[in-house]
Structure 1
Amino acid sequence: IDALPLTEATGLPFASGKDGVAHACGHDAHTTILLGTALALATAPELPGRIRLIFQHAEEVMPGGALDVLSAGGLDGVERIFGLHCDPRLPVGRVGVKPGAITSASDLLEIRLNSPGGHTSRPHLTADLVHALGTLVTGLPALLSRRVDPRTGTVLVWGAVHAGEAPNAIPQSGVLTGTLRTGDRGTWAELEPLVRELVGGLLAPLGVGFDLHHRRGVPPVVNEADSTELMSAAIQRALGEHAVTGTPQSSGGEDFGWYLEHVPGSFVRLGVRSGQARARDLHQPTFDLDERALLVGIRVMVGTALAALAE
C-alpha cells in the first residue's frame, strides 16, 4: 500500500475517519480513532510498506469532499482503502461487515413552483400552487415506486415545503425539497431524467410551472469482496471471532463511495452502544457513544493496516 510516511500523514487511514467540527453523528470519534491509529502505527519499529491516512473533509456537503481528495491526488498509488463509521445500533466490541453495497446513493431535490397566484375564493381563475405542491408531495414518491424496481431500495422523502403566508391567498411561488436515495448504482444513473419526466406529468394538468434542481450526491459504498474478507479476518484476530457481525445495507449516503470507484476496499460499521440506555440514532442531538469504542476502532484499523501490508 503506497502512502505518505506516517510523520507526514494528513488524514484518515485507508481506514476512513472524519475531521472538522464535532457533529451529532460522531465525526469527532472518527477523527480520534484515526489519530490513535496513526500513533499506534508510528510506534512500530518497521512496517513492511507505507500507509496513507486521509482525513475526510466536507463529507456532508454534496457531492462530498472525497472528490476534492481525489482531485488532489490523495489516492494516487494507493492499492486498497478501508474505512469505518460509528453505528449506535451495535454494541461496543461488535463490527458490522457486509460485502457488496453497504450504503446507498443520495441526491438532493429542490422543486420551485410558480403560478399567477390569486384568491382562495376563485381557484378556477388561477393555478392552485399549494394544491400542486400537495400533488408532488404524495404523487412523486408513489409514481417512483411504480417506475423503479422496488428491489433497488429507491426512496424519496421530503424534508421541507414552503409556500404562502395568508390563509385566503393562493401564493405565486413555493418550494419543495427532499432527498432521493437508491441502493443500486445503475438506477442512480437513471433517476434524474425520470424524476423530471414525472414532475412534468404531474404538474401539466394543473397549469403550474416548475424549476427542478436535481443535485446528484454520492454513489453507493460497494465493498469489494477480497478487501472485505481481509478486513473481516483482521477484525477477528484483533477482537475475537465473535466480534464480526452482519449489517444491512443503509439508505444513508457516504462519500467514501467515491474512493471505492477508484481503488478496491471495504467500509465497516463500528459498534458504539453501551447497552446502558436507549440507543440514539445518528444525526440526533442526543447521539452519544461509549468511549470504549474508540480503542476498539483503533484496534480494528491497526489490525486491518497490518493485514493489508502483509498481503
Structure 2
Amino acid sequence: MPVSGHVDRWLREHREDVIGWRRHIHAHPELSNAEVETTEFLAGILREHGLSPQLFPGTGLMVDIGPGDGRIAFRADLDALPLSEATGLEYSSTVPGVAHACGHDVHTTVVLALACALSEIREELEHGVRMIFQPAEEVMVGGAADVISWGALTDVAAIFALHVEPKLRVGRIGVRAGAITSATDVVEIQVHGPGGHTSRPHLSADVVYALGALITQLPGLLSRRVDPRTGTVLVFGQVGSGYAPNAIPESGVLSGTLRTADINVWRHIEPLVDELVGQVLAPTGCSHTLNYNRGVPPVMNDDVATALLAKAGRRNDPQGVVEAPQSSGGEDFSWYLEHVPGAMARLGSWSGEGDRQDLHQGDLLVDERAIGVGVRLFAATIDEYLASPASPEI
C-alpha cells in the first residue's frame, strides 16, 4: 500500500484525536522561543506512538521515521503571536494577549498527524522521513537559522512546508515555483544635525525637513535603481523627531521595512540604500547613520520540488491545485532552502462562507478540514518523491 493510502485510512480512524490536538495547541499558544508546553505536548504524543523525538536546545524538536540518509523533511512552526484572539471559539486562546493568528497550530498538527500515521508503518518505509517542529518563526531572523545550526538538515535531501491561506477555499492547494514570499528587512535611518531655532533655519540643518525628504524621495529613488520586476518595496512605518514647535531638533529617526522577491537584490541592496540616503540628505546639510537589519531571504521554491508538490496535490484532487500569488510577507522557511531544495505550498483554509479573512488578525478562522488536506498532501508528496527519477535528491 502506498504511504498515502495508509495515511488516509489512519486519518479517518483518528480524526477526533487530530482535531483535539489542534484545539489544544490553539487554546494554549506560546510566543517565540517560549514554546515550552507545546514542545512537551508534541513530544509526549510522539512517544506514545513509539517514536523518539530529539529535543532542540530551548524549545522545538524533530523526529526521524524510517531508514537513514537522504531523508525527506517536513517542517512545522510552533509559535503564536502577541495579540488577542477575537474568534469567540470555545477553544479560543486561554493566554491573554497571545493567539495562534497565523495558522501555526494547523501547520504543527499536520506534521504531528503525519508523524503518528507513519509511526505505524515505520518498518515498511522505503525512505527516511524527518519531522521538524521549529520554534520562533515570527521573530527576526527566525528560528530556522538556529534549528539548522542544531543539525536539523543533516542527512536531509529535500524539505517541504505549507502555510494556511485564508483567502483560498479549503481543499485547494496553492503552489508557485520561484519566490513565493519576499525578503523582509528592517531599515532604520538616524538623521543628525546641529539643531537650532525655527526662525533661523539657514543657520542650522533642518532634521525634520530632511526626514520628510527621505520619506518622499527614497522609495522612489530605489524604484529607479532596482529592477521593478523584483517587487522591491520600501515602506516607512515610524518617524520621530523634535520636542517643541519652534526648535529644530538635533536628531530624528525613520524606520520601515524593505521587501524584495529577488534573492540577489536582497543580498546586495544595503550599500545602495546607504548611498541613496546620503544623496537625498546632501543638500540638507544633515548626516545619517543607517541601521540595516537583515531579516529573512525570500522563500525560493525549487522548480522540481514545486512540480512534485503540485503532482501530489492533484493525486488527492485533480482540480485542487492552483497557482499561488507571490506574497510580500516574510517566512523563515527560506533559510532551509538556502541549504537543500524544497518548496512551500499554500493550504486553503477559507470555509467558503462569510468574509475572507487575513493572517495576523485576532478574528482569523481556519476551517479544520484543511488539516486533513495538509496531511494527505504531505503523504502524497512522500509517494511522489519516492517515484521521482530524481529521488533521493531533487
Instruction: Using structure 2 for the length normalisation, give the TM-score.
Output: 0.73
- Deviation of 1:6 (Å): 4.6
Partner in structure 1 of residue 336 of structure 2 = 259
What is the root-mean-square deviation in Å for CA atoms of aligned residues? Answer: 2.0
Does residue 208 of the first structure (1) align with residue 208 of the second (2)? Answer: no
Report the equivalent of 2:160. 82
Q: Deviations over 1:262-306 (max 9, x none)?
A: 111111101111121211222223322112212221222222234
Quote the Cα distance in structure 2 between the aligned partners of 1:250 and 1:196.
26
In the alignment, does 2:135 pair up with 1:135? no
- 2:73 is matched with 14
CA contact (8 A) 2:74 2:130 kept: no
Is 1:70 paired with 2:148?
yes
Q: Which residue of 1 aligns with 2:348?
A: 271
Which SS does the other structure have where 2:52 is aligned?
helix
Structure-1 residue corresponding to 2:176:
98
Corresponding residue SS for 1:283:
coil
Higher relative contact order (CA 8 A, sep 6+): 1
Matches within 5 A, 1:144-155: 144-155=222-233
* 1:167 to partner: Cα distance: 2.4
Contact 2:79 / 2:137 at 8 angstroms: preserved in 1? no
Q: Tell me the SS of whatever aligns to 1:79.
A: strand
Partner of 2:325: 248
Aligned residues between the structures: 307
Whole-Å separation in 2 of the counterparts to 1:267 and 1:51: 17
Deviations 1:36-66 (A, max 9, x none): 2222222336221221111222222222221
Instruction: Give 1:310 deviation, angstroms.
Output: 4.7
Name which of structure 1's ranges 156-165 and 83-92 shifts more when overlaid on structure 2. 156-165
Secondary structure of 2:157's aligned partner: coil
2:374 to 279, 293, 297: 297
Displacement of 1:195: 0.3
Shift in Å at residue 309 of structure 1? 4.0
Greater mean deviation of Cα atoms: 87-96 or 113-122:
113-122
1:161 aligned counterpart, secondary structure = strand
2:358 aligned with 1:281: yes
Between the aligned partners of 2:115 and 2:212, the Cα distance in structure 1 is: 52
Matches of 2:229 and 2:318, distance apart in 1: 32
What CA deviation, in whole Å up to 9, does each residue of 1:51-107 have, x standing for no partner? Answer: 111122222222222111111111011011001011111010001011122112221
2:195 maps to 117
Structure 1 match to 2:259:
181
Unpaired stretches in structure 1, ≥5 consecutive residues = none
Residues 1:287 and 1:168: Cα distance change in structure 2 (over 3 Å):
farther
Which ranges of 4 or more aligned residues in structure 1 deviate by more than 6 Å?
A: none
Q: Is the 8 A contact 2:62 2:131 kept in 1?
A: yes
1:30-41 to structure 2, matched below 5 A, reads 30-41=107-118
Could you tell me how far apart the structure 1 residues matched to 2:320 and 2:118 are?
A: 22
Once the 2 structures are TM-superposed, how far is the Cα of residue 171 of structure 1 from its aligned partner? 2.0
Q: Give unmatched runs, 5+ long, in structure 2.
A: 1-49, 55-60, 64-71, 81-98, 389-394
Confirm or deny: 8 A CA contact 2:103 2:164 kept in the other structure.
yes
Please give the alpha-carbon distance, in whole angstroms, between the structure 2 residues aligned to 1:35 and 1:274: 23
Query: What's the CA shift string for 1:227-261, capped at 9, x where partnerless?
Result: 112211111222x1011001121111211111112
| Secondary structure, counterpart of 1:133 in structure 2 | helix
Structure 1 residue aligned with 2:235: 157
The residue type equivalent to 1:24 in the other structure is A
Counterpart for residue 246 of structure 2 = 168
Q: Which of 286, 303, 306 is the aligned partner of 1:228?
A: 306
Asked whether the 8 Å contact 1:17–1:85 carries over to 2, the reply is no
C-alpha contact (below 8 Å) 1:93/1:293 kept by paired residues:
yes
1:6–1:51 Cα contact (<8 Å) kept = no
SS at match of 1:7: coil
Return the offset for 1:117: 2.1
CA distance in 1, matches of 2:223, 2:307: 34
